[in-house]
Amino acid sequence: MVTARYLEDYAVGQIFGSGRLRVEAQRIKSFAAEFDPQPFHLDETLAGDSIFRGLAASGWHTAAMTMRLLVDGDLKPAGGIIGTGFDEFGWPHPVRPGDELHIESEVLDVRPSRSRPDQGLIRCGRRPSTSTRRSFKSRSVTFSCRANPASNSLRPRWFNRPGCSSQRCEF
């Protein structure tokens, strides 16, 4: 089991993988029935006449499966996988029954928080793929991550100035 990593444990260029998740037709349909009830997610025959030319997972289902892969994967930021925003989000290819999903997360940026010295931000690029090597989603996401409580190295330089605290700084 991978232990949680503090902000100081991340460096630009690191790559973290995930396990694999097989996509089943019934799961595509059950997710769609509840959250994205469109014919190309619910019925093989109707999906065959759609732009997808076959049953395809909802993009939101794909996002949920990606989240599961992240949580179970090697990234493991201290405090959990708490997203603060996306730079990119798209689905260049449909995810289909029988596909096996896998993601790699590459650290693109690591920086301390300006307002919270006990945490920082990690920006990662995703390289998701299916068993057929098609990219199913592109995304750059920023996560919040706790700084190591034993380290003061990530506190902003101004933090130790007189009149400054974790809540504000008066110059």
Q: Measuring CA to CA, which residue among 21, 9, 11, 4 is closest to residue 124?
A: 11
**How many independent structural domains does the chain possess?**
1
Residue 167 is assigned to a structural domain of this protein:
no
Convert the pLDDT of each residue in 68-117 to its tens digit.
Answer: 999 999 999 999 999 998 877 778 889 999 999 999 999 999 999 988 88
Confidence at residue 45, expressed as pLDDT on a 0 to 100 scale: 96
Convert the pLDDT of each residue in 120-148 to its tens digit.
Answer: 999 999 776 776 666 666 678 899 999 99
Residue 92 is assigned to a structural domain of this protein:
yes
Residue 47 is assigned to a structural domain of this protein:
yes
Residue 64 is assigned to a structural domain of this protein:
yes
What the block records as the tokens of 103 is 């993601």
What the block records as the tokens of 105 is 């997360």
CA distance 169 to 120: 18
Confidence at residue 151, expressed as pLDDT on a 0 to 100 scale: 75
Residue 33 is assigned to a structural domain of this protein:
yes
Q: What's the half-sphere exposure (Cβ side, CA atoms, 13 Å) at 146?
A: 12
Confidence at residue 136, expressed as pLDDT on a 0 to 100 scale: 60
Q: Which domain holds residue 56?
A: 7-153
What SS3 state is found at 7?
helix
Residue 66 is assigned to a structural domain of this protein:
yes
What the block records as the tokens of 35 is 């959250």
- CB of 104 closer than 8 Å to CB of 15: yes
68 Cβ neighbours under 8 A, 6+ residues apart: 21
CA distance 33 to 60: 12
Convert the pLDDT of each residue in 6-46 to its tens digit.
Answer: 999 999 999 999 999 999 999 999 999 999 999 999 999 99
CATH of the domain at 141: 3.10.129.10
Residue 119 is assigned to a structural domain of this protein:
yes
pTM value?
A: 0.81
CA distance 123 to 132: 27
**Is the alpha carbon torsion for 119, 17, 85, 33 positive or negative?**
negative
Convert the pLDDT of each residue in 44-81 to its tens digit.
Answer: 999 999 999 999 999 999 999 999 999 999 999 999 99
CB atoms within 10 A of CB 89: 13
Confidence at residue 138, expressed as pLDDT on a 0 to 100 scale: 62
Residue 134 is assigned to a structural domain of this protein:
yes
Q: Name the strand (E) or helix (H) holding 22.
A: strand 21-22
